[in-house]
């Protein structure tokens, strides 16, 4: 009789197939699984809104320089950086040229004289400076120096020429480029 009681207890202790499914179902209703299921459904339902939210881009600011990354086309970023950096390159080259042009015994405080006109008009010298392949944009201040005319006169020459585009650099100064060099 003891043997029969032990066999009946073993049957009662063994889970039935329905009870096993019930245990699996209860485990699935535990909070980590439900949290993951909720997040997956949330992402699937609001997928377009998440793409818009995450695709807005990143803005990096440093002093006066502001670079926006995201849906901006690489070409536009490159053009913006060229527009901002070309006047700075121009100034660095001007400083290099001035330091090389000054003899050791000369007064360092003065500005180097502009290059001789060589029978060219100011407009021709400005166009030649804008055609320099190293720079896409040139500051009007530098153009006036290279042309040997006051800055106001250089600005008037640039404004009168239809082949030249005026812009404003990050520093707030007027910059110019040739329309053909887009």
Q: Where are the domains of the chain?
A: 85-99+119-178
* Higher-confidence position of 137 and 80: 137
- Where is average pLDDT lowest: 27-31, 33-37, 68-72, 174-178? 68-72
Distances (CA, A) of 54 to 36, 49, 64, 69, 71: 21, 9, 26, 12, 10
User: Is the predicted pLDDT of residue 166 greater than 80, yes or no?
Assistant: yes
Work out the angle at residue 139's Cα, subtended by the Cα atoms of residues 136 and 143, and round it to the nearest 5 degrees.
95
* 75 vs 65: CA distance, rounded Å: 18
pLDDT of residue 108: 44
A 10 A CB-CB count for 28 gives 10
pLDDT at 158 over 80: yes
CB 172 within 8 A of CB 140: no
pTM: 0.42
Sign of CA dihedral 113, 117, 122, 126: negative
Note whether 140 and 154 are within 8 A (CB).
yes
Mean pLDDT of the region 121-126:
88
Reading the block at residue 98, the tokens are 């001035």
Where b means 16+ CB within 10 Å and e means fewer, 135-154 reads bbbbbbbbbbbbbbbebeeb
Q: Choose among 118, 126, 115, 117: nearest CA to 155.
A: 126
Assign domain 85-99+119-178 to a CATH class.
mainly alpha
Which pLDDT band, with edges at 50, 70 and 90, does 176 fall under?
Answer: very high
Model confidence pLDDT, tens digit, residues 67-84: 666 655 566 767 777 788
């Amino acid at each position: 009789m003891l043997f029969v009681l032990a066999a009946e207890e073993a049957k009662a202790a063994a889970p039935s197939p329905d009870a096993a499914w019930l245990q699996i179902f209860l485990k699935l209703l535990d909070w980590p699984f439900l949290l993951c299921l909720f997040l997956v459904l949330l992402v699937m339902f609001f997928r377009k809104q998440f793409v818009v939210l995450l695709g807005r881009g990143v803005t990096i600011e440093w002093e006066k320089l502001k670079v926006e990354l995201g849906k901006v086309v690489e070409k536009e970023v490159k053009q913006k950086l060229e527009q901002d950096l070309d006047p700075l390159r121009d100034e660095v080259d001007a400083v290099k040229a001035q330091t090389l042009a000054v003899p050791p015994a000369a007064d360092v405080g003065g500005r180097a004289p502009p290059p001789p006109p060589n029978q060219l008009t100011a407009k021709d010298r400005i166009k030649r400076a804008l055609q320099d392949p190293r720079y896409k944009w040139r500051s009007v201040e530098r153009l006036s120096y290279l042309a040997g005319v006051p800055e106001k006169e250089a600005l008037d020459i640039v404004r009168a020429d239809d082949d030249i585009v005026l812009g404003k650099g990050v520093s707030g100064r007027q910059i110019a480029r040739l329309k053909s060099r887009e």
